[in-house]
């Protein structure tokens, strides 16, 4: 994929199957954000293709990196979650019964019943991320694409978010694609890893990844024993 003829990355090949938990890693500038745009159908590859089977980019729930505007959004939790239905259903001036049911389902999955009437801007960072994941689930429960979801969260909130994604993946069979710099924690949950690099890239299992130089360079050391085979 390229910008104005300059390649953001090249020769990337990977696959995501139903039920996978794919972790995307790489240094800043390696092309992770560009790849996200490709997966979401916002940017076409300059060569090769991104193929979908039994899912479309519109059916991918997307959690972007948080920014100040998101954190100060003037709406209730229920309204924020409900707004996630808009992308999946196309334009409609009114929410349908099905969309409202999807909202209730997402709120239950993320255990937000007790705060559904609260203002989004008054929530903690961890609560806001839970609400935004619920919003993404309104688009689909098939696949979630999470871009640096633990950035700015403390250790307790970070652990909670990983528990949520693991529960969605293992119990509700939601396919997870997560972009992260939090390699030590995120690797515990992923079954596949895609590492983007300017000179070369890696795609394979988490167990294979921890035996590569990519892993050593990212962590400043070798295998800590947690992923030995």
Per-residue tokens: 205: 């299992």
Per-residue pLDDT tens for 164-187?
999 999 998 999 999 998 898 999
What is the CATH code of the structural domain delimited by 1-55+143-229? Answer: 3.40.50.300
CB crowding 91-124: b at 16 or more within 10 Å, else e? eeeeeeeebeebbeebbebbebeebbeeebeebe
Per-residue pLDDT tens for 132-147?
999 988 877 789 999 9
Give the residue carrying structure tokens 């899912």.
55
Contacts of 225 (CB under 8 A, 6+ apart): none
Per-residue pLDDT tens for 26-52?
888 888 989 999 999 999 999 999 999
Beta-ladder partners of 173: none
Nearest by Cα to 138 from 213, 63, 189: 63
Per-domain boundaries in the chain: 1-55+143-229, 65-141
Per-residue tokens: 157: 């909130």
């Amino acid at each position: 994929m390229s910008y104005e003829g300059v390649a953001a990355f090249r020769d990337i090949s990977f696959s995501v199957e139903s039920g996978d938990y794919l972790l995307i890693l790489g240094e800043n500038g390696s092309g992770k954000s560009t790849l996200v745009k490709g997966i979401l159908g916002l940017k076409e590859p300059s060569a090769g293709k991104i193929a979908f089977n039994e899912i479309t980019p519109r059916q991918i729930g997307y959690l972007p990196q948080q920014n100040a505007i998101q954190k100060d959004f003037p709406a209730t939790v229920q309204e924020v979650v409900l707004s996630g239905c808009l992308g999946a259903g196309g334009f409609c001036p009114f929410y349908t019964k099905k969309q409202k049911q999807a909202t209730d389902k997402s709120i239950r999955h993320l255990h937000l019943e007790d705060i559904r009437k609260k203002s989004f801007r008054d929530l903690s960072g961890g609560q806001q991320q839970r609400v935004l994941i619920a919003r993404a689930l309104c688009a689909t429960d098939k696949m979630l694409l999470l871009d640096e979801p633990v950035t700015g969260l403390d250790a307790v909130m970070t652990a909670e978010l990983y528990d949520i994604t693991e529960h969605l993946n293992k119990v509700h069979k939601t396919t997870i694609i997560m972009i992260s710099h939090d390699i030590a924690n995120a690797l515990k949950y992923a079954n596949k890893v895609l590492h983007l690099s300017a000179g070369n890239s890696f795609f394979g299992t988490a167990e294979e990844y921890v035996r590569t130089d990519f892993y050593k360079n990212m962590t400043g050391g070798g295998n800590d024993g947690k992923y030995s085979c």
